Amino acid sequence: MMFLPLWLAIHVAGSDSELIGRLQRHDPQALAELYDRYGRLTYSLILRVVRDTGVAEDLVQETFMRVWNRAQGLDAQKGSIGPWLLAVARNRAIDYLRSAGGRERNALEFEETDHPSLYIDMERDILSSDKARRIKSAMERLSPNQREVIELAYFEGLSQTEMAERMGQPLGTVKTWVRAALKNLRDELGPAVPA
């Protein structure tokens, strides 16, 4: 059950080029298909960030609208719509979290993370269930502090300075945890993440 969204995404990945083309032509049926493939995954990610089902649904809707309006920027042949969609969803959710918490955000860096042209040639690797299992397994093997800093970075969009404040730890300690956590994950996923 947990991997159903991934399973759905994997089994339809082959026709992403055609789907992107139809989204670029603003075919509403393509948006329906995109939602059927990635709707649950997108919702799961956003809910993990905002922890409110009503807000999560609103943000899912915003995410799909943003993708609908910006699909022209995606490479129809090599574009990886799933990872891009997740990046947009994460940014929407963290934007909400920051504005609700009265925090500033680094608009420049976030804008850079979900530009559609950055997402090419990564679809099959990213969304295969085997890789998803590996990342989950790798996360579970991290120490609690290492796992926490990664989750704070990814699901809450905190910088290392913000993490240090949140955790009440010296910045140097947090940087050590982040560096160690990323190294462990890289080592675990090395062959799974293409250069």
Partner 1 sequence: MKCEELQDYYELYAMGVAGEPEGDEIRSHLSRQCEVCMAGIKRARAFTSFLGNTAPAMAPSPQLRRRILASVGFEQRRFGMAPFLGFALACALFAAFYFSGREREFATIALRLREQLGQQTVELTRLNEAFAILNGPDTTTVSFGTGQPAPPKGRVFVNPTQGVLLIASNLSPAPAGKKYEMWVIPKGGRPVPAGLFQSEADGTAMHIRRGAVDPATTGAVAVTLENEAGALEPTMPILIVAPLQ
Task: Give the interface segment with partner 1, choosing from 14-22, 37-45, 71-79 (CB under 8 A).
Answer: 37-45
Rounded to 10 degrees, what is the CA torsion of 167, 159, 84, 7?
-20
Does 127 help bind partner 1 (rule: CB under 8 A)?
A: yes
Residues that bind partner 1 (rule: CB under 8 A) add up to a total of 72
Q: Which of residues 148-177 bind partner 1 (CB under 8 A)?
A: 150, 153-155, 157-161
Does 97 help bind partner 1 (rule: CB under 8 A)?
A: no
CA atoms within 13 A on the CB side of 62: 17
Q: Are 74 and 81 in contact (CB under 8 A)?
A: yes
Position among 18, 109, 130, 165 found at the interface with partner 1 (CB under 8 A): 109
Does 116 help bind partner 1 (rule: CB under 8 A)?
A: no
Instruction: Give the angle 70-74-76 at the CA atoms, nearest 5°.
Output: 130
Position among 17, 44, 145, 173 found at the interface with partner 1 (CB under 8 A): 44
* Shortest distance, position 89 Cβ to partner 1, whole Å: 8
> Which element (helix H / strand E) includes 71?
none
> Which element (helix H / strand E) includes 73?
none
